[in-house]
Structures are given as C-alpha cells and as structure tokens.
Structure 1
Amino acid sequence: MRVADTDQGESTGIVEPENLSSQAVATPRRRVRKVPAAGAVVANKSKNSKPAETKTEMVLKKLRLAKGTTLEGLIEATGWQAHSVRGFLSGTVKKKLGLSLLSEVGKDGVRRYRLDNKAKAV
C-alpha cells in the first residue's frame, strides 16, 4: 500500500530550509548618550584636585616618625600581609628609593622600623 498524498519531508523527518532572503534582518541598536537632567549636580572633574594618598606615601610617613612604626602598624595602614610589608621595606624603601631603614627591637620585644635621616643607604 502506498500513500500518494504524504509529503516526503514529513515522512523522513527532513525539513527543507526556508528562504531567508525575504526575511528582514535586525539592525543593531544605537547607544544613546545619557544627558544629565536640568539642574542635576555633576561631579567636578577638575585637574586641580589632589589625588588620594597612596600606600607608599602612607608607609613612608609612618617610617619618618621619630619612634618609627611596627610591622602591625604597617599591616593595618596598608591592608597588606606581613610578608608583603617586609618585601616592600626591603625592595622598595631600601633598594629602589635608596633610603636608610633602621630595624630595632625595643625593651618590650617589639621590632620597630624607621628611616635614618643621618646616614645614607649603601
């Protein structure tokens, strides 16, 4: 028995592709620049504003104190781990900046770091 009215594509599961040339192609949307509303306050981006203090500046300021600072003080100020602070002191302060760094243990057993303004680093 043979069925004459069946479509070959339906019986075999093969579907022919539709003609795509007659379909509309979507165009990309344009980005619209946001304009602040009238009377809105816009942040001033002047070149005269002083940038925030860097971590290097914070560390150097603490090292210049007469008493100096402890490792824990530098960790709190920078948020770095102990090995990072010691690496910064050795690599940046001593080697790159060429500053003389003193490390002294006080009577309380706490090590303090400070810059020696009298001597020059070798």
Structure 2
Amino acid sequence: MSDTRKPREHTKLDRILSLLQTGTGASLEEMGEATGWQPHTVRATLTELRKRGYEVTRHTEGTTTVWSVTGGAA
C-alpha cells in the first residue's frame, strides 16, 4: 500500500518535489544544490517519493540525467 501523503511545506522533500514538478524537471546537481544533500541522499529521496505514490521519471538531456514527477499524491 502506498503512502500518498504530500510532504510538509517548506521542507527539503517539498523543495525537491517542487523542482520535479516544474515541467522541465531537475538534475541531480540541481536537487543537491537546493537541499545541500549529497547525491546518494537525493536518490534515496526519489525512492521515497515513489513509495509515496509519485511517478518519478527520468530522461537524458545531452549528458545530464533529468528527473521529473507526474501524477502522484494530491
């Protein structure tokens, strides 16, 4: 059963979710800069969002991997 709770406002998880929902998505570096987190922590957070019911997708733009969110918790 997935936990569809939205993150609390003004948290780092909320900040990452906002970046991912911009329509253009965000790179690992952008998410790390926004939170001050190491890459492995950002990737773990993407897994947490998947567990909460968000559809996290990724694609490549040149040499950069970009993640975005579609669907998910209301």
Structure 1 residues without counterparts, runs of 5 or longer: 1-51
1:115 partnered with 2:69 = yes
Q: Which residue is equivalent to 2:55?
A: 100
- Structure with the higher fraction of residues in helix conformation: 2
| Cα-Cα RMSD | 1.4
Instruction: Specify which structure has the higher proportion of strand.
Output: 2
Which structure carries more relative contact order (alpha carbon 8 Å, separation 6+)? 2
Q: TM-score, normalised by structure 1?
A: 0.50
Q: Which residue of 2 aligns with 1:16?
A: none
Measured in 1, the distance between the counterparts of 2:28 and 2:43 equals 8
Between the aligned partners of 2:30 and 2:23, the Cα distance in structure 1 is 15
Q: For residue 23 of structure 2, give the secondary structure of its aligned residue in structure 1.
A: coil
Give the structure-2-normalised TM-score.
0.80
Return the match for 2:44 from 78, 83, 87.
87
The Cα shift of 1:56 comes to 1.1
Gaps of 5+ in 2: 1-8
Cα deviation digits, residues 19-77 of structure 1 (max 9, x gap):
xxxxxxxxxxxxxxxxxxxxxxxxxxxxxxxxx71111101100001110000000000
- % identity of equivalent residues: 30
Q: Could you list the runs of 4 or more consecutive aligned residues of structure 1 that deviate by over 2 angstroms after TM superposition?
A: none
Match runs of 1:23-38 below 5 Å: none
